[in-house]
Amino acid sequence: MWGLLRRLNRGDAMLSDRTLSISPAVWPLHRFLAQIRRRIMTVRQSSIEIALNAARTQFQAGRCSSLAQEQARAAGALAASGAQIAALSTSTSSHAREIADVSGQNLRSAEQALAELSDVQARVERMTREMAAFTDVVGQLTTRARSVGDISKLIKDIALQTQLLALNAGVEAARAGDAGRGFAVVASEVGRLAERVNAATSDIGRHTGEMLDLVDTTQRQTGTLREDVNASGVVLDRTCLDFERFVRDFGNMNRQVGEVVQAIGEVDATNHSMSQEVGRIAALSADVLERVGSMSGEIDRIRRQTESVQEVLADMRTGNTAFDRLSDVVEDFREAAAGLLEDARRRGVDVFDRHYARIPGSEPPRYHTLYDRAIDEPLTRLLDSVLDAVPGGIYTILVDSRGYAPAHNSRFSHAPSGDSKQDIARVRHKRIFDDPVGARLAANTGALLFQTYSRDTGEIVNDISIPLYLGPEHWGAVRIGLDYVRFQAALEGAAPSRRPVAEAG
């Protein structure tokens, strides 16, 4: 019994081992060790599942974080655009109000101009009527002037006849002698009177002719003026109609401008409200981003705590479980890798070289060392043979203390294609894996590590690693990446969804 306990304490025995003692005290010890074994198996299985779920959750949290960052950027850009739109909307609303004010002033000016034009039209119409009356008066004046001329001619004819009669009367009075002397005087006076009437009639005729010429000129000018006034009246009527239509259309446009100003005001209010909502969305996005980052950190702490549990349980070999089998495989892998490195070292190869020379044009970056070409082929064969022996295996790899892998499995050691998205999954040899998981296991000098993480190719991987020493010097580590559920199911011969937690190792 004491020998079994001492071996368990040193890690040289498994909890499934039993002593051949026949002492009655051995049965309580066996029951106690069986309970410890079941509990360790349960804790180990639970921690593995927690680590898997934490890795999946962290992967989703990472994607959520990326989406939240993108959303935050989009929300920030939207908020900036919203602020610009709100500013432009305010400016547009102000300009629209100014346009409405100017339009209203122009409408009032146009209405005033229409009123003045209507007044001018009324005056022209009145002037047209007065010109018509004036034309009639001129026509009447012409008629009367001609009538005066005719009368003057008649008077002149009568005066000439009277003068002839007076001359004849004087001749007859001279013949009568003294008896006709008084009659001769009268005839002489009548003759002189007829001469004066004739002279006056001639003056009247001359003046009447001049007046008729003036009246004719006035009549012609009045006709021309009347035609011009009538034409101006027609043009003015048409202009008034056009201007009335213009004022009416301008009024309609002014009403539409008012409606547009009202609509722009509503849009401005909506834009400001939307800008505030977008700002709130941006603030919420930033808060979501912060919370997702905090959640990712918490999930990472949970994952590290479960890995710490695995690290504590690593030395506790329960026996006859999948984890024990995996531990044996990784230890055998370590021994084979150490032997390969020791053989190269004996041949004079500097396997501790840490001067990494980047391979030109490699993306993602790959490096050469002083020893990688010397061990490339045998190491690749070793990695492939170990991977073939691990059900559910994803990769097997040897890394130095800084995460450098001088070789990789054949499936990940293709020639570069030039497409970085394709090469990141197919060209993984001679790379430095210094991600948090890789850096931790490369620098680990303690016990076996069982880590779960999201690989850069997208898979959720269980990674088991163990430090590798060449003599007393720490060289690096060997690591196996696998789907532990598939590995466990293959060893136990059961479907992964039906495995009892208590039976897992």
In the predicted model, is pLDDT for residue 500 greater than 50? no
- Please state, in angstroms and rounded to a whole number, the distance separating the CA atoms of residues 56 and 299: 10
Cα–chain center distance at 136: 80
- Please state, in angstroms and rounded to a whole number, the distance separating the CA atoms of residues 46 and 50: 6
Tell me the pTM: 0.55
User: Averaged over 114-140, what is the pLDDT?
Assistant: 76
Cis (ω within 30 of 0) for the bond into 436?
no
- pLDDT one-digit tens code per residue, 66-117: 776 776 777 777 767 767 776 776 777 777 677 777 777 777 877 787 788 7
- pLDDT one-digit tens code per residue, 363-396: 889 999 999 999 999 999 999 999 999 999 999 9
Cβ-proximal residues to 45 (8 Å cutoff; 6+ apart), any chain: 501, 502, 504, 505
User: Averaged over 254-273, what is the pLDDT?
Assistant: 75
Among 3-17, 172-186, 366-380, whose mean pLDDT is lowest?
3-17
The conformation of residue 503, written as its DSSP 8-state character, comes to G
- Please state, in angstroms and rounded to a whole number, the distance separating the CA atoms of residues 222 and 220: 5
**Helices 181-313 and 26-176: angle between axes, nearest 10 degrees:** 170
In the predicted model, is pLDDT for residue 135 greater than 80? no
Range 43-72 burial, b when 16+ CB lie within 10 A, else e: bbbebbbbbbbbbebbbebeebbeebbebb
CB 481 within 8 A of CB 461: yes
CB 347 within 8 A of CB 374: yes
What is the amino acid identity at position 208? T
- Please state, in angstroms and rounded to a whole number, the distance separating the CA atoms of residues 357 and 349: 17
pLDDT at 203: 73
Highest mean pLDDT among 245-254, 286-295, 420-429, 495-504: 420-429
Range 263-279 burial, b when 16+ CB lie within 10 A, else e: ebeebbeebbebbeebb
**Residue 16: C-alpha distances to residues 38, 322, 492 (Å):** 10, 14, 17
- Please state, in angstroms and rounded to a whole number, the distance separating the CA atoms of residues 392 and 486: 5
**For the chain, how are helix, strand and coil distributed in percent, rounded to 5?**
75, 10, 20
- pLDDT one-digit tens code per residue, 299-357: 666 656 666 666 555 555 566 788 888 888 999 999 999 999 999 999 999 999 999 99
pLDDT band at 501 (very low <50, low <70, confident <90, very high): very low
The residue assigned the tokens 């296991």 is: 441
Among 19-33, 331-345, 369-383, 487-501, whose mean pLDDT is lowest?
487-501
Query: Of how many residues is the chain composed?
Result: 505
Cβ-proximal residues to 478 (8 Å cutoff; 6+ apart), any chain: 330, 333, 334, 337, 396, 397, 398, 399, 465, 466, 468
